[in-house]
A and B are shown apart, each in its own frame.
Chain A
Amino acid sequence: MGRISFFLKEAFGSLRRNYFMTIAALVTVFLSIVVLGGVLVFVFTTDALLKEVEEKVEITVYLKTDPDPTAEEVAIMQDQITSWPEVKSSSYITKEQALQRLKEDYADSPEIFESLTSNPLPASFEIALVDPQTVDIVAARFEGDSIVDEVRYGKEIADKLFAFTDQARNFMLIFIVLLGIVAILLISNTIRLSIFARKREVEIMKLVGATNWFIRWPFLIEGITVGFLGALVATAVVLGLNHYLVGTVSDNLAFLAMPLDAVPYVLVTVILLAVGVVIGAAGSAIGLRRFLKV
């Protein structure tokens, strides 16, 4: 107990005394964690948006109209579709429902429907998939079917989107790893500088008979404190900014109707604080290593 309070006193005393180095280290941690936090927020947000878009990849199967398929043919196809494991859900849109939708879309100008004598719209199946990537396979199964007129699923858009999301995710991962390495290097360097300034102090401690761990603990506590505080402020800034931006964007782009605030605040806070603490401790340990060999 006496020992722990001694270490704490040593650590905080030296943080106060070497306030210039403390501030330098704090700023380094802060900047690193802000960038890391920014990337995390970006990853979570785009990931959620992309998932949302992916989910909108639907297959629409238009049935022939001349003649319209019989109820029996429709029922057979419906059974088939629901039996496929790739299919998440499907619904049958009758000719009447299709017309009804169209009328709703053009509720402002009902006059364009006045001249209609019969319903020209085809009935259709709308199919949502478990995995949007299987859209090609599922769509191909309708080819040549006697009651199918046309299959639509925005093939090119889907393909491009998948290519882009895959690439974006890989890129982000690489970026995060690189960023982590840069942050640790920066911080261990800052801490090394501060330890270098205290090389003599460490030497004296060793000559008086302090063990390596006895010397190390106050430095580790310093590193952890700096890491934690820097990360705490950075987290508040990143998440606060995200919250503010999401608010502004969704006010202006209300029609998007997408979940913009997809960031798990608690998880991101825990990750950033943990990274800050680990970086601070690792920086101290790495920085100190050279000087303990007296």
Chain B
Amino acid sequence: MIKFEDVTKIYPPSTVGLERVSLHIEKGEFVFLVGPSGSGKSTFIRLLIREIEQDRGRIIVGGRDLDTLRSWKIPYLRRNIGCVFQDFKLLTNKTAFENVMYALVVTGNATGASKKKAAEILALVGLGHKSDSYPNELSGGEQQRVSIARAFVNHPPLLIADEPTGNLDPDTSMGIMQLLYRINKTGTTVLMATHDREMVDRMRRRVIALDNGKVVRDQKRGGYGED
């Protein structure tokens, strides 16, 4: 699903984002990306959705080499990667329902069936009754669930979450976690960057630890820290 081969990203003039990272994530895996602040987790994710480009190395997503991907094809890549951000990135002038719909409409799916789908997915994340609320009328946890609904509504083969629980209390975080877990059960590969030690320790999934841009640990059923 995801393959990094000796990938290096330097932010000008000389800040290391990632340094010589090589790793392989299989289809259907659930992977935690951990590491201290500034270790390169967001850089990893931004490279995956081609928000930025690497300086060296090769990145292959879903069989496609991102280096040879024409820029007009980037939107099509992103439609196959559901993305959940720490700051939600919801469109503030659209309701919860319209935000979810937007991900469908950009793919050319604005039919009645897709409306039903958007409503269903909102119900699935527990926000059926708030679908007409605007983001500023929702709590942080609710906004994050809207953004997960938007990321998942197209049933992408890959779902990436950059600290989706970063701003949320433990209970709400647990709810979000469960949601991602369920999504993973449908066969979607899930990659989640997080600082949430307790969560990682509890889930016992693959853990990739970054430090200073380098992979320092890659464990099949790991915890947040060294075992």
A contact set with B: CB distance below 8 Å: 2-3, 6, 13-14, 17, 201, 203-212, 214, 294
Which of A2, A211, A294 contacts B106 (CB under 8 A)? A211
A6→B85 CA distance, assembly (Å): 26
Flag if B107 contacts A207 (CB, 8 Å).
no
Contact bitstring B99-137, A, C-beta under 8 A = 1, else 0? 000110111101100000000000000000000000000
Q: Cβ of A6 and Cβ of B105 under 8 Å apart?
A: yes
Complex alpha-carbon distance, A201 and B102, angstroms: 12
State how many angstroms separate the Cβ of B147 from the closest Cβ of chain A.
Answer: 10
Q: Which B residues are CB-close (under 8 A) to A294? A: 51
Asked if A208 contacts B51 (CB within 8 A), the reply is no
A and B contact pairs by CB, cutoff 8 A, 9 listed: A3-B105, A3-B110, A17-B93, A203-B89, A207-B49, A208-B106, A209-B76, A209-B103, A212-B75
Report yes or no: A13 in contact with B102, Cβ–Cβ below 8 A. Answer: no
> Contact between B110 and A204 (Cβ–Cβ < 8 Å)?
no
Q: Which residues of B contact A (CB under 8 A)?
A: 49, 51, 72, 75-79, 83, 85, 89-93, 102-103, 105-108, 110-111, 150
Q: In the complex, A294→B49 CA distance in Å?
A: 11
Question: In the complex, which of the residues B72, B78, B90, B111 contacts A209, with contact meaning CB atoms closer than 8 Å?
Answer: B78
Q: A201-B91, A209-B78 are in contact. Are A2 and B110 (CB under 8 A)?
A: yes
A6/B110 in contact, CB under 8 A: yes
Task: Please measure, in the bound complex, the distance between the C-alpha atom of A122 and the C-alpha atom of B49, giving whole angstroms.
Answer: 96
Known A-B contacts A205-B102, A294-B51; the reply to A211 vs B93 at CB < 8 A is no
In the bound complex, residues from chain B placing their C-beta under 8 Å from that of A211 are 72, 75, 106
Once the chains are docked, how many angstroms separate the CA of A201 from the CA of B94?
11
Q: Given contacts A3-B110, A6-B110, A214-B106, are A207 and B78 in contact (CB under 8 A)?
A: yes
Seed contacts A207-B51, A212-B75; 14 additional CB < 8 Å A-B pairs: A2-B111, A6-B105, A14-B93, A201-B92, A204-B89, A205-B91, A206-B75, A207-B78, A208-B102, A209-B103, A209-B106, A210-B75, A211-B72, A211-B75
Residues of B within 8 A of A204 (CB): 89-91
Q: Give complex CA distance A2, B78 in Å.
A: 22
Q: For the complex, what is the distance from the CA of A210 to the CA of B105, rounded to whole Å?
A: 9
CB closest residue in chain A, given B103:
A208
Name the distance in Å between B126's Cβ and chain A's nearest Cβ: 22
* A residues less than 8 Å from B75 (CB atoms): 206, 209-212, 214
Q: Which of B72, B75, B83, B92 has the most CB of A within 10 A?
A: B75
Take A2-B111, A210-B75, A294-B51 as given contacts and tell me if A205 and B106 are in contact as well, using a CB distance cutoff of 8 Å: yes
Q: Which residues of B contact A6 (CB under 8 A)?
A: 105, 110
Q: Is A209 within 8 A of B79, CB to CB?
A: yes
B83: chain A residues within 8 A (beta carbon): 207-208
Known: A206-B75, A208-B150. A3 touches B103 (CB 8 A): no
7 nearest A-B pairs in the assembled complex, by CB-CB distance: A209-B79, A209-B78, A2-B110, A210-B106, A211-B75, A209-B75, A204-B89
Point out the residues of chain A lying under 8 angstroms from B90, CB to CB.
204
Residue of B89, B92, B93, B108 near A207 (CB, 8 A) is B89
Whole-angstrom distance between the Cβ of A219 and the nearest chain B Cβ: 14
A residues less than 8 Å from B76 (CB atoms): 209
Q: How far does the alpha carbon of A204 sit from the alpha carbon of B151 in the complex, in Å?
A: 12
Alpha-carbon separation in the docked complex, A203 to B51 (Å): 10
Most-contacted residue by chain B among A14, A205, A211, A212 (CB, 10 A): A211
Contacts of A206 in B (CB 8 A): 75, 78
In the bound complex, what is the Cα–Cα distance between A82 and B20 (angstroms)?
95
CA–CA, A203 and B46, complex, Å: 13
Cα–Cα, bound, A6→B104 (Å)? 12
B175 to chain A, nearest CB (A): 23
Complex Cα–Cα for A125 and B89 (A): 87
B78 touches A208 (CB 8 A): yes
User: Which residues of A lie under 8 Å from residue B102 when comparing CB positions?
Assistant: 205, 208, 210
Q: CA separation between A211 and B76, bound complex, in Å? A: 8
Q: Kindly state the separation between the CA atoms of A14 and B91 in the bound complex, as whole angstroms.
A: 12
Nearest Cβ in chain B — how far from A210, in angstroms? 4
Cα-based distance from A183 to B93 in the complex (angstroms): 30
